[in-house]
Amino acid sequence: MKGIEEQIRATSSQLLAAGDVQLVIGYGAGSDNSKTMPVFIKRAEDVGKLVFNPLCVSNLANYLLHWNNFEGKIAIVVKGCDSRSIIRLLQDKQIEREKIVVLGVNCPGQLKSGQAEAKIPVEAVLSEATVDNGGIKLQTSGGLITFSLEEGLLEKCRQCESSRPVVSDYLFGEKGFEADKAALQFNDVAALEGAPLEEKSRYWDKYFERCLRCYACRNSCPACSCRECVFDMVEPDWVAKTVNLSDNTAFHMIRAFHVAGRCTDCGECERVCPAEIPLRILNRKIIKDIKELFGAPMPGSDLEALPALSFYAVNDPESQN
CB 31: neighbour CB atoms within 10 A?
Answer: 8
**Residue 98 is a binding residue for another protein (CB under 8 A):** no
Cβ proximity to another protein, 44 vs 229, nearer residue = 229
Cβ proximity to another protein, 219 vs 310, nearer residue = 310
* Segment interacting with another protein (CB under 8 A) among 18-26, 131-139, 140-148, 228-236: 228-236
**Residues near 43 by Cβ (< 8 Å), separated by ≥ 6?**
16
DSSP three-state, residue 100: strand
**Residue 226 is a binding residue for another protein (CB under 8 A):** yes
**Residue 319 is a binding residue for another protein (CB under 8 A):** no
**Residue 22 is a binding residue for another protein (CB under 8 A):** no
Alpha helices in 45-79 (DSSP H): 62-66
**CA geometry: angle 303, 308, 311, nearest 5 deg:** 95
* Segment interacting with another protein (CB under 8 A) among 41-49, 88-96, 107-115, 166-174: 88-96
Cβ proximity to another protein, 198 vs 311, nearer residue = 311
**Residue 201 is a binding residue for another protein (CB under 8 A):** no
Q: Which of residues 233-272 bind another protein (CB under 8 A)?
A: 233, 235-239, 246-247, 249-250, 253-254, 257-258
Q: Helices 197-209 and 245-259 sit at what angle, rounded to 10 degrees?
A: 100
User: Which among 85, 104, 41 has a CA at the least distance from the CA of 259?
Assistant: 85
* Segment interacting with another protein (CB under 8 A) among 21-29, 37-45, 225-233, 268-276: 225-233
Q: What's the closest the beta carbon of residue 298 comes to another protein, in angstroms?
A: 19
DSSP three-state, residue 151: helix
DSSP three-state, residue 111: strand
**Residues near 36 by Cβ (< 8 Å), separated by ≥ 6?**
27, 28, 29, 30, 51, 53, 55, 56, 57, 58
Q: What's the closest the beta carbon of residue 276 comes to another protein, in angstroms?
A: 24
Instruction: Tell me which residues touch another protein (CB under 8 A).
Output: 69, 92-94, 225-230, 233, 235-239, 246-247, 249-250, 253-254, 257-258, 306-307, 310-312
